Amino acid sequence: MKIVIDTNRYRDFCENVPHVVEQIRTVEQIYIPFITLAELRAGFLCGSIMQKNENILNQFLNRPRVRVLFADEETTHHYARIFRQLREQGTPIPTNDIWIAALISQHNLFLYSRDAHFDCLAQLPRL
């Protein structure tokens, strides 16, 4: 199984939440969206242990099963469709999470997140 992790699941993994660590250990491929990286690094800059957190993140990113997922032109089409769907449903979600959803949709991946607002997007396969 190939998954996309968001900020909260990355943090759960770093905090050694047992079921999260087990889940991440068993998947074939782990994608971390560029948006998640930006959110993490913004948090690091606002915290008191920035360098330690950055080192841990770099170790995670250097694992063979981990890949960073970037947006491209095709992603923008997925974003637009999801944006419209959410607007028509009257269920807005944070912009960064629309980008994550677009990447998941584009690449046919599974979402691994604690964020309940992703439930508004029934077409996203969740772990």
pLDDT computed for residue 31 by the predictor: 98
**pTM, entire model:** 0.93
Contact 77, 59 (CB under 8 A): no
Q: How far is CA 46 from the centre of its chain?
A: 20
Q: Give residue 91's pLDDT.
A: 96
C-alpha 15/C-alpha 9 separation (Å) is 10
* Residue that the structure tokens 């077409």 belong to: 123
State the pLDDT at residue 67.
Answer: 97
Specify the pLDDT at position 92.
94
pLDDT at 76: 98
Q: What is the pLDDT of residues 48-102, one digit of tens each?
A: 898 999 999 999 999 999 999 999 999 999 999 999 999 999 999 999 999 999 9
Taken in order of first residue, the domains within the chain and their CATH numbers are 2-120 (3.40.50.1010)
pLDDT in tens, 3-17: 999 999 999 999 999
pLDDT of residue 47: 86
Beta-ladder partners of 31: 4, 67
pLDDT tens for 37-50 read 999 999 999 988 98
